[in-house]
Amino acid sequence: MPPCRTPRAWPIALALAACSPPPPHPDIFLISLDTTRADAISAWGMAPAGRDDLRGTTVTPNLDAMAAGGVRYAWAFAHAPTTLLSHSTVFTGLDPHELTIVRNGYPLGPSYETLAERLKADGFQTMAVLGSSSLARPMGVDRGFDSWDESFSVARKHRHEATAEEVTDRAIAALHTRSSTAPVFLFAHDYDAHGPYQAPGKGRFGAPTAPYAIERLTTTCRTEGCTPVAADIARVRGSYLDEVAYVDEQVSRLLAEPPSRAGRIVLVFGDHGEALGDEPHRPFGHGADVDPFATHVPLILVAPDLAPGVVDTAVGLQAIGPTLLALIGDTRPFGANIDLGRLAGAPGIPVEATQPGTSGPGWNNRSNEHGFIQGNAMVIEAPWLDEAAHWQHVDGAALPEADPQRPALLASLQDWMARSPAFTTAHMDAATREGLKALGYVDE
């Protein structure tokens, strides 16, 4: 540390401050809730996962308490409804076109600066614990992490997972190896809400749902509509909520770990949603739709000296990285430099589906469903279905035909699509391809 030179004219208090080392950074916990719809979190005050009969029921008491003590972003949106691309927007602050990631299995390129790399340069000890192989090392999001734990205990057809309890156990163990001086950046990825919906222990909202039952319901929805099997879909939604409730318990265990003397910043987000019977042609899963059931996700931020409240302005997940950096005083540009603390005049939020696959020349996803969100409204196009653009409020209500937001939304979407990247291919080893194929994420 260079010697302290204090101008003679400075008051004593300022001179002492100038000679003192900067205060330590708080720890940062970034917790990802994979496949978690915003309406699955009770604090959002909606019908849990679309179950009107459970409206007012507490599914997530721990996340609700966190939301009450922090800032809840009521209308946060993932830019893509798949795990790798959504997490890549979080770790780089860039949108899907800037990243040129088609879908899971197309790795993050080495030229992008990641949040972990920046925080490591800022003096943080960086550690990650994964719940799924969809973010495994070959996907490139591990850059900048001192430790990257992908010890998966569950294997289903080359698909590798770990339960939220295991993720939490390993995250706590990692925290106990921390340096005595460096602040910690911990990324914990809880994958459980992703199908199959089979939460450990006794079901509170519904019995575990077997994959063959989902296949049967999918067939009925596509041929007869979902109404004839509404009761069965409600049971599947209950099984899904059991998974979300289980993750809520494990998040509470992790946050029970004592914070450092400098405090702790905690940001919890969902990476994308799940259909759960909301779309009869694609009634379960995610990837092909950008409607709110697939892209409206929970986002909660708790930080020292940050006043609790609710933000009703729509925000995109690419703002997470710049926001966390701003909270520790790192004001250098990061990604597109969209910050949750500077929402006035913020650009709109592009969203893009990553299934059903490629068709036609140009950008791989150009024919897929895509949309644009600004304020409380969104426009959606689905070229692969030959559907005309349709407009709606973010809560799903139709946007009136005379609403002046319509032409501006469509122009913004068309401009974003006009700037889409060129066609790209993925290069992955056989094991990675088989694992992603088991998840339904790889083109045949």
One domain for residues 108 and 189: yes
From CA 75, how far away is CA 60, in angstroms rounded?
18
In a domain, 18, yes or no: no
Note down the domain range covering 399. Answer: 351-438
Q: What is the rounded average pLDDT of the residues 177-193? A: 93
Where does residue 17 rank: exposed (0-12), middle (13-18), buried (19+ CB within 10 A)?
exposed
Boundary of a domain, candidates 347, 371, 402:
347
Task: Tell me how many domains the chain contains.
Answer: 2
Give the angle 168-172-175 at the CA atoms, nearest 5°. Answer: 140
Do residues 152 and 125 make contact, with C-beta atoms less than 8 angstroms apart?
A: no
Do residues 250 and 190 make contact, with C-beta atoms less than 8 angstroms apart?
A: yes
Please report where in the chains the tokens 């609710």 appear, as a residue. 310
CA 46, 51, 55, 58 torsion-angle sign = negative
One domain for residues 214 and 286: yes
One domain for residues 97 and 206: yes
In which band, very low, low, confident or very high, does the pLDDT at 441 lie, cut at 50, 70 and 90?
A: low
Q: Is the pLDDT of residue 13 over 60?
A: no
One domain for residues 223 and 116: yes
In which band, very low, low, confident or very high, does the pLDDT at 17 lie, cut at 50, 70 and 90?
A: very low
In a domain, 444, yes or no: no
Boundary of a domain, candidates 305, 327, 347:
347
pLDDT (0 to 100) of residue 5 = 45
Do residues 79 and 351 make contact, with C-beta atoms less than 8 angstroms apart?
A: yes
For residue 108, the domain's CATH number is: 3.40.720.10
Boundary of a domain, candidates 290, 320, 347:
347
One domain for residues 185 and 325: yes
- Is the pLDDT higher at 28 or at 158? 28
pTM: 0.91
What does the pLDDT look like over 73-116, one tens digit per residue?
999 999 999 999 999 999 999 999 999 888 888 889 999 999 99
Do residues 186 and 178 make contact, with C-beta atoms less than 8 angstroms apart?
A: no
Size of the chain, expressed as the number of residues it contains: 444
What does the pLDDT look like over 32-83, one tens digit per residue?
999 999 999 999 999 999 999 999 999 999 999 999 999 999 999 999 999 9
Q: Is the pLDDT of residue 356 over 80?
A: no
Q: Is the pLDDT of residue 432 over 80?
A: no
The two three-digit tokens of residue 312, written as one number: 């009703």
